[in-house]
Amino acid sequence: MKKTLFATPQDAETAFYEAFMKHDLEAMMAVWADDDEVYCVHPRGGRVTGVAQVRESWRQIFAAAQSVRFHVREQHFLQAMMVSIHSVYEHVTLSGEGRARGCILATNIYMRTGNGWRMMVHHASPAPALEEAEPRRVKTLH
Amino acid sequence: MKKTLFATPQDAETAFYEAFMKHDLEAMMAVWADDDEVYCVHPRGGRVTGVAQVRESWRQIFAAAQSVRFHVREQHFLQAMMVSIHSVYEHVTLSGEGRARGCILATNIYMRTGNGWRMMVHHASPAPALEEAEPRRVKTLH
């Protein structure tokens, strides 16, 4: 299988959300590091550890769910030498519906590997809508 | 204020949970990096960014909540050069009650700073009980 080489953490993140929206399991797993230490927390779920179990969890999600659209907003980055930590709000819209169904807050962690930047951690959890979440911060942007 | 210098990420994590159990705001903030980029996600809450807002969020939690006990279990670590990523199950018990009230899954991220290892991220979210969360993993341990 062709593995894309992501030159930046942002490239990996873009590919992650594209794969998620398309329900493309191979593209999704090309983003993840091929490592037994990676882990994933789906909203309200337990921790899924290791690339094989992470793959299986996405397979189940893609098989069960309607296709979804994400609007990723309010990205916040923490950069270290080999690690990039992203906090993002995912506004989830089901296909055919205009209005966002819910809001998920995700911590995405990428590491620089021999094969470019790859995802090590995706921790997603239910969040209040953005407007309620950081009122002070949002206000200062206007 | 005296700031403790944490020699390892595990020292910082131990201090984090001690401060949380004691409702000790100064001890809690001694664990966090003094940085506008740090962020914290309390269960079902939005993202709180920057050390001043993180401090205020803990002040409110400590003022409102009964004292709690944590049993931290199933720790899982990812180590990079300057960053340590910990995933832990927090079994929360209210004081005076024997049985765990709930289960929280947290991603805790520590960075090595000029002042030792300090917390940069705490992302906590509701989780199913450990027994349901990773049945296959648990089985292989027995």
Residue B69 has pLDDT above 50, yes or no: yes
Q: What local confidence, expressed as pLDDT, does residue A4 receive?
A: 79
pLDDT digits (tens, 9 = 90+) for A20-74: 999 999 999 999 999 999 999 999 999 999 999 999 999 999 998 777 788 888 8
CA A127 to chain centre: 15
Q: What local confidence, expressed as pLDDT, does residue A100 receive?
A: 67
How far is A61 from A7, CA to CA, in rounded Å? 28
pLDDT digits (tens, 9 = 90+) for B104-125: 999 999 999 998 999 999 999 9
Asked whether the beta carbons of B63 and B69 are under 8 A apart, the reply is: no
Pull the structure tokens for residue A39. 């882990």
Q: What local confidence, expressed as pLDDT, does residue B136 receive?
A: 41
Pull the structure tokens for residue B115. 């002042």
> Which residue has better confidence, A40 or B93?
A40
Mutate to test the interface with A, among B72, B104, B118, B123 (most CBs of A within 10 A): B123
pLDDT-above-70 percentage for chain B: 83
Give the one of A43, A76, A82 whose C-beta lies nearest to B49's C-beta.
A76
> Which residue has better confidence, A105 or A97?
A105
Give residue A11's region: left, alpha or beta (phi > 0; psi -120 to 50). Answer: alpha
How far is B142 from B135, CA to CA, in rounded Å? 11
pTM here is 0.86
Asked whether the beta carbons of A78 and A63 are under 8 A apart, the reply is: no
Residue with tokens 């000029």: B114
How far is B71 from B39, CA to CA, in rounded Å? 23
Would you tell me which residues 15-74 of chain A have a C-beta closer than 8 angstroms to some C-beta of chain B?
Answer: 37, 39, 41, 43-49, 53, 74
**Contacts with A128 from chain B: Cβ below 8 Å:** 44-46
Q: DSSP labels for B21-89? A: HHT-HHHHHHHB-S-TT-EEE-TT--EEESHHHHHHHHHHHHHHSPPEEEEEEEEEEEE-SSEEEEEEE
**Residue B67: which of B29, B23, B126 has the closest Cα?**
B23
**Contacts with A76 from chain B: Cβ below 8 Å:** 37, 39, 47, 49
**Residue A85: which of B34, B85, B116 has the closest Cα?**
B85
Asked whether the beta carbons of A12 and A24 are under 8 A apart, the reply is: no
Please report how many Cα atoms fall inside a 13 Å half-sphere around the Cα of residue A58, on the Cβ side: 25
Count CB atoms within 10 A of the CB of residue B22. Answer: 12
**Residue A74: which of A19, A16, A129, A11 has the closest Cα?**
A129
DSSP B91: E
Quickly count helices (H) and strands (E) in chain B. 5, 6
**Contacts with A80 from chain B: Cβ below 8 Å:** 80-83, 111
Beta strands in chain A (DSSP E): 39-41, 47-49, 68-79, 83-94, 102-113, 116-126
Residue with tokens 């309390």: B42
Average of per-residue pLDDT values in chain A: 86
